[in-house]
Amino acid sequence: MRLLLALLLFIASLSFAEEEYSDTPEVKQKVLYTSYENIPKKLFEDQIFTITIKTLSTLEYFDDIHYEFKNYKGLKILSDKAHRVISGQYYFDTFYFLCTSTEFKTPDIITSHIFNNTHKENETMLLGENINVFKLNPNSKFSKIIAKDFTLKEYKTTSYNKEYNIVVFSAEAIGSNIETFNISSAIKQGFESIKPSVQLSTMTYYAIIPSKLEELEFNYFNLDSKEYVDVILPIIVDNDMVSTQSDLKPIDRRFQMIKLSVASGVVLLLLVLIIFRKKFIYIFLIIPPLVYLVYHLKPTEYACVKASSNIYLLPIEQSTIFEAVKIDDSFEVQGKVDGYLKIKLHNNKIGWVKNEDTCSN
């Protein structure tokens, strides 16, 4: 009897244990593993940097791997979509960031699988890290550019007026926040065009500088060498004028009228001498002022510009477009430079139009 009772109690305990085990939550198997493949050891304020995440998935079928950034400070996210390299079962995803402050922490990175293009599962977290950020102490020539490389492509210097010259140049930078570019010695400056990129940025820039300067000099901080690199542009003023909307070198009409009046008087005097004294030497003397009068009194040249043509601030590639021609129209031509016409608009602004945009082409 006692043996039967003990057997019943044993069976009951097994049944209770089974029921208790069935109520215990099932431990979910981890299927997504992340780690840092590349993360900077130190940074400079205003530096663009990358973080590469190494991800391993044990699942064979899923749509994508998703990353979410949380709990960061002192940075700006420059790329929501990663630059991805797949090697076997591993995903190497690189993201670009801009360091904005010395108070800095990288993001906590939450990684998950994407199913059906929207549904997220299997989240795992990679904790952010505190990284030392250094603030540069540059000299007055610093252009506010921190880059792996900064290359000057081409430049042009023209006269602005008696006191100033204008320098226009194009450049490219690798791994730089090129929008911060600045020249401390410039009276006025700005971007003619700019194409910022986390990898290769390009720009066309103009700077108005004192005419007494024989060279334009600035520097940038090179991330590879960890030192300031000088960039020097010799100032060689071209004869052809570059004009902006307000015309960089307006013609003084009063002096031109005085010159024309003097030339006309000389021509009349020499004509009188030729008629009454009949000396051929006066014929040679009359040629220079006569040529001057013919050149400056010739009819004003006009050019027809096609509808929808762009009017550019400067006669260079990728220059700023400040106006467009709405209909076929005729404008006064004030100069010509390598594939461009300098024209005076009806509102008296001065701009440049490409030769190919004239009605004759």
Q: What DSSP line would sit under 10-26, residue for residue?
A: HHHHHHHHHHHHHTSPP
Among 143, 184, 128, which residue's Cα sits nearest to residue 46? 143
Give the dihedral sign, CA 339/341/216/151. negative
CA distance 358 to 361: 6
CA distance 275 to 271: 6
Residues of the chain by 3-state class (helix, strand, coil), percent to 5: 20, 45, 35
Q: Cα(first)–Cα(last) distance of the chain, in Å?
A: 117
Strand-pair partners of 90:
56, 87
Structure tokens at 63: 């749509």
pLDDT at 231: 94
Determine which helix (DSSP H) or strand (DSSP E) holds 275, and give its type and residue range.
helix 253-277
Neighbour count for residue 360 (Cβ, 10 Å): 7
CB 178 within 8 A of CB 196: yes
The tens-digit pLDDT sequence of the chain (361 residues) is: 555 545 544 555 544 444 444 444 444 578 889 999 999 999 999 999 999 999 998 888 888 899 999 999 999 999 878 899 999 889 999 999 999 999 999 999 999 988 887 778 888 999 999 999 999 999 999 999 999 999 998 888 877 677 888 888 899 999 999 999 999 999 888 888 889 998 999 998 989 899 899 999 999 999 999 999 999 999 888 654 444 433 333 344 455 567 667 767 776 877 777 677 666 676 666 777 767 666 666 667 788 888 888 887 777 666 667 678 888 888 888 777 778 888 888 877 777 888 888 887 6
CB 73 within 8 A of CB 105: yes
pLDDT at 244: 40
pLDDT at 250: 38
Q: What are phi and psi of 131, to 5 degrees?
A: -125, 140
pLDDT at 262: 72
pLDDT at 20: 45
CA–chain centroid gap for 55, Å, is: 33
Q: Which letter does DSSP use for residue 100 in this model?
A: -
CB 248 within 8 A of CB 241: yes
| pLDDT tens readout for residues 48-105 | 999 999 999 888 888 889 999 999 999 999 987 889 999 988 999 999 999 999 999 9
